[in-house]
Amino acid sequence: MKVSYLNDEFFSRLETLALNLRTNLAGFFGGKHLVRTYGQTVEFADYREYMLGDDIRRIDWNLYSRFEKYFLKLFTDERQMHVQIFLDCSASMEKGNPNKAAYAIAVAAALGFLAVHNMDKVSFNLMKGNRSENNLGTIVGKTSFFRAIGELQNAEFSDETDLAAAITGTETGTNDGLSVIISDFFTESEWQKAVDYLTYKKRQVLLVQVLSPDEVDPTYSGRVHMIDSESADVSDPKNMKLRITAGMQMAYAEAMKDLIEGLKSFCISRGAQFISVTCDRAIEKVLFGELFKVGIMG
Amino acid sequence: MIGLANLLGLLGLLGILGLIIIYIIKPNYQQKFVSSTYVWKLSLKYRKRKINVNKLMNLLLIICQVLILISCALILAQPIIRAQQPPDIDEKIIIIEASGNMLATDGLGGEADVEGGTRFLRATQAAVQTVNETFDNDENGLITIIMAGRTPEVLQFESGVNAAGQPQYTKIQRLGIADKDNIIATLTGLKNSYCTLGSADMEQAMRYADPVLEENPEAKVILYSATEYINEISENSFVDVRADELRLDTEWNAAILDGKSTINSHFVYSFDLEIGLYNYDSDIEVMVQIYGANAADDSEASADDKNGYDLTYTLKTPSLSAYNQPNGQTVTITLDTFSEALKSDGILCVSDKPFYKDDGGEFDGVLTYKSVRVSLSHVGNRNPSTDSLYQDNEFYFYDGQRTQLKVVYESDRSNPFMRSILYAWQSALTNKWDVIIKEVTKNDDVVTEGYDLYIFEGQKLPRGDLPSDGAIILVSPEISALTSVGINTLTSVEIPASDTVWCSVAEHPLSEHLIHAENYVAHDFMQASNYDKEYEVFLNYHHSNGGTEETIPMIFAKNKAEPLGKVMYTGLHMNYTDFAMYTDMSLMFLDVFNWFFPVAVEEHIYEIGEQIVINSFAREIKLKGDDIDTKITEFPHIEVAERTGRYTLTETLLSNKEVETSYYVKMSARESNIWREENELTEPNFKSKYGDEDKDLLVYFAAALVALLFAEWFLHSRNQF
């Protein structure tokens, strides 16, 4: 039986959190996405000197009285952002622990909810193999969102995913929103290229690493023949026989730490954000706690 | 030894061991499905450096456990290291004594050189039988044959020739059945001539057995010897002495063991004879034949007296009981040639001339003789020639005659020191030389021929060349040169009394007794300079006036067996030196005499095996004997007495007078004792390479088990971290 966090209670909590924090929300999900181009919003941006042909209604007379020169007020423009959520649907996201897949879906859904709540567009790209599938299209508004969520829960997790190929092969807008990559990042594929691609597209990038408790702190030991969920068969080189001792566990922890640190440092270097969550923690706490930390919410 | 229970226990443990090995070889892995092994693979890098150690520790642990099991199994098996056992073969070491007593015949007058004719031949026959028995009993048997003669050796046979055509020999040492024919042929080919007439070196013979016994301590040592060894043969003796196989009850021996001639209180010769009798009871009649008794010297000989008298005496020993007595019985009889003693002793003398005195009266005694033959004439009612050993039935004396040496002392000064030296020669050399001294004084004519040794002192010198028919001693000759002897310049020297004077010696046979050289003082002497290089200086004179020091050769000599080749020079004036006050001078001159005129041989009786040192004052000396006729030109010459018999050395003086010296080589007295019994036999002395005891390893394995258990515990505890 599939585990799912996406229930009414879940969204109700999200709604409450979003409403309570609306006035105080900053960051991407915290308000209007004001861009640096000048537009017709009411938000003052800057002054410039009057030039022949400008709209005289925009002349700031206070400045004229002061400087006896004509200056125009400039206001920021406002656009509708597009939140692209890339969900890794490889076998490692589920086979190890069903909670992990449901958790990842829940994280995707939560982020999508926040997007539509913010009047932004959202799309769910399910990464399978070396491509992304977006059968739900671009979602605007809560009605279509909830309809899409039902489909999202049925996502299948199998095989391997080439993050770089899947993401770079997807059409993304330029400078129009946030791209979220939800994965465990247990992959040989060069996901760094995906991040680079997205940053090249002037999108904000958020990497969400979803891990199961077993993956963070494996409790098994002794002689273990580990069958990788993404392996083709028992003889697949991904599988490995290992005698897990205390020392081995320490080495694992060190490797995991280095993996996460590696992800983090890469993201910092690219101006992306990175959070790592385990699926045994409450999503709300993780989302709002971690998202606050990285500034997606401020 | 492993008991049944222990064996089952061992098998059980081995079975467990096998299971464990199988378990270890095929370890169980629990299959687990994980989301991804990605991080585990990453973690290998962190663990890589420790994984090798882990593997090693695992391996060590496995090894430890295996060793523990093995230790347990071995402890149950009660392991021991068996002492290495010598080969189980029939091996014999045959030692055949090849000494004089082994030449003993049957004592019935039988031939020696027939089969079994002597003990030696019987020993070789017995050895052949032993060889056959050995190989018949065991085809893998081994034989070693050692001949114990004067110089023991391992018997060998010619086995072929090498590339150079020289014969090659194989020693009969641990030879097997393949060489049986060669061994037997070699043994049967041994003749009596192989034996020495001396004694066997049994100790050395046993040394040849040692290496064989080291290889096989179980080898039996069989000694074919007629000597009975008693008392000291222990129960563990290695040697089986087969004397009974060699001795015959009919063997007996009468022997002249030794003899000694002395000049008794009546100043005539008396002869002590040691007679031995073995395995027979009897008295023994001994005949003493004296040849050339009291022969006149050449210068005073008359036609009748020239060769002296041949005298025959017969002596009888008391009755001796030696039948079956160990070591027989010996007695010493004496022939005192003093006529009165002969009459009172009842010794029969059969001679072609009656006793006489110089004045026509009775013969006083033997003052000199050319030779004496002692022989056994009767042994009870048996002919001595039928005894087992004939080689000891005769004996010879040759020391009854001294060679006459004529010495002339010519001096223009009355010198009591030189005169005393001459008379000292006479008495000191009386056993070797008959020194005839003539003194030529100031008013006498210088004598230049007819003497063996000339002593010229002062101005008493011949006008022309010095005499060439004898040796010359020059004592402070007052002349400017003596070119005929290679002294080209002579100068009279007077050293100031204020000078410090002393002498020093150079190493030389003639300086041996000049022990006070540094104290000799002389201020007047004849200095010889410019003399032949042949001269060897052995006394140097030094004088010093506080500044310079001068060294002057004072005494030198040369010794060549040629005319004018034996010359000694001393520049010291006997009246002006204290050298004459020291005994050094007398001894030096005695050394000079012996140097110029060494005796051919020191003794006249030698035993088989003894070394005979032959010297000569001539260029060569002829040696003649029953089995030898040779010339010797290098001196001293050492001859080893190998065969009994009479030997004569002939040398020629510078005066062309021939001097003959004879000596007799006798059989070893020890070997004449054919019924010998000895207390101690030299046994082999070897260190076997085989151990005596089995070595118990239980303690060692128990200790190893404890150590391994500790090591396993240690590895386990390390492996947890």
Position A42 scores a pLDDT of 61
Position B437 scores a pLDDT of 93
pLDDT tens column, A104-142: 998 898 888 888 877 788 899 999 988 898 888 888 877
pLDDT category at A26 given cuts 50, 70, 90 is very low
Pick A14 or B242 by higher pLDDT: B242
CB contact under 8 A, B31 and A225: yes
Position B231 scores a pLDDT of 58
pLDDT higher than 70, residue B464: yes
Which residues of A are less than 8 Å from B50 in CB distance?
247, 251
Which amino acid appears at position B48 of this protein?
K
Closest Cβ–Cβ partner in B30, B39, B54 for A252: B39
Which residues of A are less than 8 Å from B717 in CB distance?
none
Helix axis angle for B4-25 and B38-77, nearest 10°, is 170
Tell me the CA distances in angstroms from B26 to A242, B22, B29, B346, one per residue in order.
Answer: 14, 6, 9, 116
Position B354 scores a pLDDT of 46
Closest Cβ–Cβ partner in B35, B50, B720 for A229: B35
Which residues of B are less than 8 Å from A184 in CB distance?
35-36
Tell me the CA distances in angstroms from B659 to A220, B10, B297, one per residue in order.
Answer: 121, 95, 13
Helix axis angle for A98-117 and A142-152, nearest 10°, is 170
Position A24 scores a pLDDT of 42
Do residues A287 and A107 lie in contact, with contact meaning Cβ atoms separated by under 8 Å? yes
Average pLDDT on A235-241 reads 88
Q: What is the SS3 assignment for B576-590?
A: HECHHHCHHHHHHHH
Position B72 scores a pLDDT of 86
pLDDT higher than 60, residue B582: yes
pLDDT higher than 70, residue B296: no
In degrees, rounded to 5, the angle at the alpha carbon of residue B144 between the alpha carbons of residues B140 and B147 is: 160
Position B51 scores a pLDDT of 54
Percent of chain B with pLDDT over 70: 90
Closest Cβ–Cβ partner in B42, B50, B54 for A255: B42
pLDDT higher than 60, residue B643: yes
Average pLDDT on B484-505 reads 91
Percent of chain A with pLDDT over 90: 19
Q: What are phi and psi of B91, to 5 degrees?
A: -120, 135
pLDDT category at B457 given cuts 50, 70, 90 is very high
Tell me the CA distances in angstroms from B160 to B165, B166, B179, B180, one per residue in order.
Answer: 9, 8, 13, 16
Selected for mutation to probe chain B from A230, A236, A242, A250 (highest B CB count within 10 Å) is: A242
Interface check B41 vs A, CB under 8 A = yes
pLDDT category at B700 given cuts 50, 70, 90 is confident
Position B220 scores a pLDDT of 92
Which strand (E) or helix (H) includes residue B341? helix B339-345
Which strand (E) or helix (H) includes residue B648? strand B645-652
Of the candidates A209, A130, A213, A138, which has an alpha carbon nearest to the alpha carbon of residue A167?
A130
Most confident of B127-131, B267-271, B477-481: B127-131
pLDDT category at A280 given cuts 50, 70, 90 is confident
CB contact under 8 A, A97 and B35: yes
Of the candidates B707, B463, B642, B464, which has an alpha carbon nearest to the alpha carbon of residue B100?
B642
Hey, is B563 helix, strand or coil? Answer: coil
Do residues B333 and B286 lie in contact, with contact meaning Cβ atoms separated by under 8 Å? yes
The residue count of chain A comes to: 298
Selected for mutation to probe chain A from B26, B30, B35, B62 (highest A CB count within 10 Å) is: B35
CA distance A192 to chain B (A): 17
pLDDT higher than 90, residue B365: no
Selected for mutation to probe chain A from B36, B55, B59, B718 (highest A CB count within 10 Å) is: B36
- Tally Cβ neighbours within 10 Å of residue A99: 19
In degrees, rounded to 5, the angle at the alpha carbon of residue B356 between the alpha carbons of residues B351 and B358 is: 140
Position A39 scores a pLDDT of 54
Percent of chain B with pLDDT over 90: 52
Position B615 scores a pLDDT of 92
Identify the residue whose tokens are 């979602």: A139
Beta strands in B115-166 (DSSP E): 142-148, 153-154, 156-161
Which residues of B are less than 8 Å from A256 in CB distance?
39, 43
pLDDT higher than 60, residue A25: no
pLDDT higher than 60, residue A245: yes
Numbers of helices and strands, H then E, in chain B = 11, 39
pLDDT higher than 80, residue A7: no
Q: Residues 6 or more apart from B492 whose CB is under 8 A from it?
A: B478, B524, B525, B526, B527
Position A230 scores a pLDDT of 84
CB contact under 8 A, A97 and B36: no
Average pLDDT on B281-299 reads 82
Of the candidates A74, A3, A11, A66, which has an alpha carbon nearest to the alpha carbon of residue A42?
A74
Q: Find the distance separating the first CA and the last CA of chain A, reported in whole Å.
A: 37
pLDDT higher than 60, residue B251: yes
Position B130 scores a pLDDT of 95
Hey, is B550 helix, strand or coil? Answer: strand
Mean pLDDT rounded to a whole number for chain A: 81
Strands B309-316 and B433-440: unpaired
Pick A286 or A277 by higher pLDDT: A277
Q: Residues 6 or more apart from A65 whose CB is under 8 A from it?
A: none
Most confident of A46-60, B143-157, B401-415: B143-157
- Cα B59 from Cα B70, distance rounded (Å): 16
pLDDT higher than 90, residue B305: no
- Cα A189 from Cα A183, distance rounded (Å): 12
Do residues B516 and B584 lie in contact, with contact meaning Cβ atoms separated by under 8 Å? yes
pLDDT higher than 60, residue B232: no
Average pLDDT on A224-246 reads 86
pLDDT higher than 80, residue B716: no
Position B77 scores a pLDDT of 81
pLDDT higher than 70, residue A75: no
Interface check B299 vs A, CB under 8 A = no
Strand partners, B241: B223
Interface check B717 vs A, CB under 8 A = no
Strands B677-678 and B228-229: parallel
Position A274 scores a pLDDT of 92
Q: Searching chain B, which residue's CA lies closest to the CA of residue A244?
A: B40
- Cα B352 from Cα B142, distance rounded (Å): 66
Pick A111 or B345 by higher pLDDT: A111
DSSP one-letter code for B486: T
Average pLDDT on A244-268 reads 91
Percent of chain A with pLDDT over 70: 84
Pick B309 or B184 by higher pLDDT: B184
Position B344 scores a pLDDT of 65
Do residues B228 and B327 lie in contact, with contact meaning Cβ atoms separated by under 8 Å? no
pLDDT higher than 70, residue B614: yes
Q: Residues 6 or more apart from A232 whose CB is under 8 A from it?
A: none
Of the candidates B625, B603, B624, which has an alpha carbon nearest to the alpha carbon of residue B613?
B603
Which residues of B are less than 8 Å from A245 in CB distance?
54, 719-720
CA distance B70 to chain A (A): 27
Q: Residues 6 or more apart from A127 whose CB is under 8 A from it?
A: A86, A87, A88, A89, A90, A133, A161, A163, A166, A167, A183
Do residues A140 and A113 lie in contact, with contact meaning Cβ atoms separated by under 8 Å? no
Which amino acid appears at position B471 of this protein?
A
Identify the residue whose tokens are 């114990």: B148
Strands B220-224 and B658-666: unpaired
CB contact under 8 A, A247 and B32: no
Position A99 scores a pLDDT of 76
Selected for mutation to probe chain B from A186, A216, A233, A254 (highest B CB count within 10 Å) is: A186
Which residues of B are less than 8 Å from A239 in CB distance?
37
Q: Searching chain B, which residue's CA lies closest to the CA of residue A237?
A: B37
Hey, is B626 helix, strand or coil? Answer: coil
pLDDT category at A23 given cuts 50, 70, 90 is very low
Pick A37 or B252 by higher pLDDT: B252
Position B175 scores a pLDDT of 95
* pTM of the full structure: 0.60
Torsion of CA A214, A216, A217, A218, to 10 degrees: 40
Strands B658-666 and B605-607: parallel
Which strand (E) or helix (H) includes residue B202? helix B202-215
pLDDT category at A96 given cuts 50, 70, 90 is low
Position A178 scores a pLDDT of 86
Q: Searching chain B, which residue's CA lies closest to the CA of residue A242?
A: B29
Selected for mutation to probe chain A from B39, B51, B62 (highest A CB count within 10 Å) is: B39
Average pLDDT on B77-101 reads 86
Torsion of CA A115, A116, A118, A122, to 10 degrees: 40
ipTM exceeding cut-off 0.85 for this assembly? no
CB contact under 8 A, A223 and B27: yes
Pick B552 or A14 by higher pLDDT: B552
Q: Which tokens go with B91?
A: 């091996």
| DSSP H stretches of helix in chain A | 8-21, 61-67, 98-117, 142-152, 163-168, 191-200, 213-216, 246-270, 283-294
Lowest-confidence region among A19-33, A164-178, B118-132, B150-164: A19-33
Sheet with A240-244: list strands edge to edge.
A240-244, A222-228, B30-34
